[in-house]
């Protein structure tokens, strides 16, 4: 991690079309720079323990230079106004000498615990300009990470945990608890594996017991005992997922069990007795369902955080990584990497709540291709090589993604 080339901003590159070769020093580039500069003249960038952080900035790539250090908030703010970076990152780690090189000379002191989640564009119907599916899927996983794991299982404090939108389509969860800042890379990796459901031995949550003298039964019966409502952690999560499946509408119910490996007849029989099965599972009596191992295997395949979203373990485990500075602008979108209160997370829409630029002002742009996307409550349809008058915030989005030119 001794060069900017090996540093990672933890945000996946935007899937942009190829821009004209003169784009970087064009009037589009200058237009973006002027508006970014105006933003930083009127918005304070606040970084806790600023003098102990390493900073990295990007003008063409996510990080073109790093090993920067600032002695005060004022000095950092002046850098934003005078240099106008398109991308701004800082270290999760705290150092005695943050500007020193190589990394070992910085004298590592401690590091925040950070989880980085980013939506994958590899799905049907992905919109390369602004994808609502990506936004919704990654936001749902962030909520699961917080509620199911960080708060419920690990007992982390909400007062020391913050959620930041990346400014594009990802989220960063910061845990700044002093008791966690000395966790080793291996310990941090174990947390990621637990949250992602990696290397979890699901079989250990079940036991096979042999019972005699059961009502109406004159032989020894093998009973499978598993998670119940008294369980916690992954055991409770398995039960909750099973109960959620049991209340699905019939068509979805049958499809889910067929996917798990049951025959149609077996799935229909379970559906016909689903209320009884649910009550038995809640009591830990998993013999009430035929072949429970099939259902558990299906649950295990989707139960962890990050199955359809990238939970980037390297950002959590590599303490020399740089991460997006909260409340700065993202150079791929012109949107603010905003800190989000927990109460607003479930309904958070960056195109409404994290805009840096005006929707009432307009700019004329020429699209480089056909684009049809939803932004800030409105649909926008642009035809290739045609002039379109769009809100300034939309123009900035298109220009930052290099999908349009100024008229």
Domain boundary among 238, 270, 302: 302
Question: Based on the domain organization, do 97 and 160 belong to the same domain?
Answer: yes
Rounded to two decimals, the pTM is: 0.85
Question: Based on the domain organization, do 19 and 143 belong to the same domain?
Answer: yes
**pLDDT per position as a tens digit, 295-325:** 999 998 888 897 777 899 999 999 999 999 9
Question: Based on the domain organization, do 287 and 176 belong to the same domain?
Answer: no
Question: Based on the domain organization, do 16 and 148 belong to the same domain?
Answer: yes
In a domain, 407, yes or no: no
Range of the domain at 340: 4-195+308-358
In a domain, 18, yes or no: yes
Distances in Å between the Cα of 216 and the Cα atoms of 213, 220, 401 are 8, 12, 70
In a domain, 406, yes or no: no
Question: Based on the domain organization, do 191 and 51 belong to the same domain?
Answer: yes
Q: CA 350, 356, 361, 365 torsion: positive or negative?
A: negative
| Sequence-ordered alpha helix ranges (H) in 197-341 | 233-246, 250-260, 264-272, 274-282, 292-302, 313-317
In a domain, 385, yes or no: no
Question: Based on the domain organization, do 102 and 184 belong to the same domain?
Answer: yes
Q: Which of 78-82, 281-285, 306-310, 317-321 has the lowest mean pLDDT?
A: 306-310
What interhelical angle do 250-260 and 233-246 show, nearest 10?
130
In a domain, 351, yes or no: yes
Question: Based on the domain organization, do 145 and 246 belong to the same domain?
Answer: no
Q: Is the pLDDT of residue 14 over 80?
A: no
Question: Based on the domain organization, do 219 and 247 belong to the same domain?
Answer: yes
In a domain, 400, yes or no: no
Residue 397: name the closest of 368, 355, 360 by CA: 355
Question: Based on the domain organization, do 180 and 280 belong to the same domain?
Answer: no
Distances in Å between the Cα of 217 and the Cα atoms of 212, 226, 277, 285 are 8, 22, 19, 17
Question: Based on the domain organization, do 58 and 111 belong to the same domain?
Answer: yes
In a domain, 399, yes or no: no
Contacting residues for 15 by C-beta, under 8 A, at least 6 apart = 121, 126, 128
pLDDT at site 309: 79
- The angle formed by the CA atoms of residues 162, 153 and 161, to the nearest 5 degrees, is 10
Would you place residue 19 in the very low, low, confident or very high pLDDT band (cuts 50, 70, 90)? Answer: very low
Q: Is the pLDDT of residue 12 over 50?
A: no
Question: Based on the domain organization, do 9 and 155 belong to the same domain?
Answer: yes
Domain boundary among 284, 302, 320: 302
**pLDDT per position as a tens digit, 329-353:** 999 999 999 999 999 999 999 999 9
**pLDDT per position as a tens digit, 212-247:** 555 555 556 678 999 999 999 999 999 999 999 999
Question: Based on the domain organization, do 124 and 50 belong to the same domain?
Answer: yes
CATH of the domain at 178: 3.90.920.10
Domain boundary among 286, 302, 318: 302
In a domain, 25, yes or no: yes
Count of structural domains, the chain: 2
Mean pLDDT of 354-367: 96
């Amino acid at each position: 991690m001794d060069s900017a080339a090996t540093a990672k901003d933890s945000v996946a590159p935007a899937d942009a079309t190829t821009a004209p070769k003169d784009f970087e020093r064009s009037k589009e580039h200058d237009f973006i720079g002027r508006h970014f500069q105006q933003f930083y003249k009127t918005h304070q960038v606040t970084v806790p323990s600023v003098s102990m952080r390493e900073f990295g900035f990007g003008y063409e790539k996510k990080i073109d230079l790093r090993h920067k250090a600032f002695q005060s908030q004022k000095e950092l703010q002046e850098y934003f106004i005078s240099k106008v970076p398109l991308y701004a990152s800082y270290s999760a780690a705290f150092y005695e000498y943050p500007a020193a090189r190589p990394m070992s000379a910085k004298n590592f002191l401690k590091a925040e615990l950070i989880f980085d989640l980013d939506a994958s564009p590899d799905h049907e119907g992905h919109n390369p300009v602004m994808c609502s599916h990506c936004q919704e899927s990654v936001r749902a996983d962030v909520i699961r990470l917080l509620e199911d794991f960080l708060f419920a299982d690990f007992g982390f404090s909400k007062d020391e945990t913050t959620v930041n939108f990346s400014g594009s389509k990802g989220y960063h969860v910061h845990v700044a608890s002093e008791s966690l800042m000395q966790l080793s890379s291996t310990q941090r990796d174990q947390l990621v594996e637990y949250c992602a459901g990696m290397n979890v031995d699901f079989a250990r949550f079940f036991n096979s017991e042999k019972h005699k003298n059961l009502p109406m039964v004159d032989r020894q019966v093998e009973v499978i005992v598993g998670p119940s409502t008294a369980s916690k952690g992954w055991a409770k999560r398995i039960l909750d997922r099973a109960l959620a499946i049991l209340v699905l509408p019939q068509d979805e119910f049958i499809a889910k069990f067929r996917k798990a490996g049951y025959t149609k007849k077996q799935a229909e029989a379970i559906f016909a007795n689903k209320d009884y099965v649910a009550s038995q599972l809640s009591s830990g009596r998993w013999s009430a369902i035929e072949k429970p191992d099939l259902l558990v295997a299906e649950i295990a395949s989707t139960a962890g955080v990050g199955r359809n979203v990238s939970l980037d373990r390297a950002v959590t485990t590599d303490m020399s990584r740089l991460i997006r500075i909260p409340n700065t602008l993202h150079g791929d979108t012109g949107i603010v990497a905003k800190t989000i209160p927990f109460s607003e997370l479930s309904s958070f829409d960056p195109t409404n709540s994290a805009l840096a630029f005006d929707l009432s002002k307009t700019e004329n742009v020429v699209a480089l291709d056909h684009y049809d996307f939803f932004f800030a409550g409105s649909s926008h349809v642009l035809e290739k090589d045609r002039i379109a008058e769009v809100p300034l915030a939309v123009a900035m989005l298109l220009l930052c993604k290099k999908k349009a030119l100024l008229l």
